[in-house]
Amino acid sequence: MSAVEERAGQRDVDAVARRVLETLGRPLHERATVAALETDGIRDVDARRIAPGCADVFELGELVHARCLELHEQHRVVATLRQPRPAQPAGWRRLGRRYGRGLAYSLPMVV
């Protein structure tokens, strides 16, 4: 049994989806997900072991793509909930900071 087969035997759809998210980020299309699976060394035989009932990598790709989208959305919601809003500087300081950024932005055009 090869190393890929051993790894695939220990995986499930969630683990594979997390691996695709680490590799690609949010996949834009199912074919990109399938390409990531094939790049990771998953074959049709491995797809059957990961998700019983999948005939090939393309069927596994559909499942993994849907799970990737769910996991990405959950991660985005949790990250939004965890981040406290940074404190905004009060009145004149905020105005001065914005004015300074505007001057710094326009300086190259003036020079």
Give me 64's structure tokens: 């993994």
Task: Report yes or no on 110 lying in a domain.
Answer: no
Q: Which DSSP letter does residue 87 get?
A: P
In this structure, is residue 18 part of a structural domain?
Answer: yes
Pick the closest to residue 2 from 52, 45, 55 (CA basis): 45
In a domain, 19, yes or no: yes
pLDDT in tens, 64-73: 999 998 888 8
Tell me whether residue 30 is in a domain: yes
Domain range for 70 is 3-105
d(CA 44, CA 50): 10
**Nearby residues of 44 by Cβ (< 8 Å), 6 or more positions away:** 55, 56, 57
Does any domain span residue 59?
yes
pTM: 0.59
Instruction: Classify residue 111: in a domain, yes or no.
Output: no
State how many domains the chain has: 1
- Cβ proximity of 46 and 33 under 8 Å: no
Q: Is residue 52 part of a domain?
A: yes
pLDDT averaged over consecutive 10-residue blocks of the chain (111 residues)?
A: 43 87 86 91 90 90 91 77 67 83 80 74
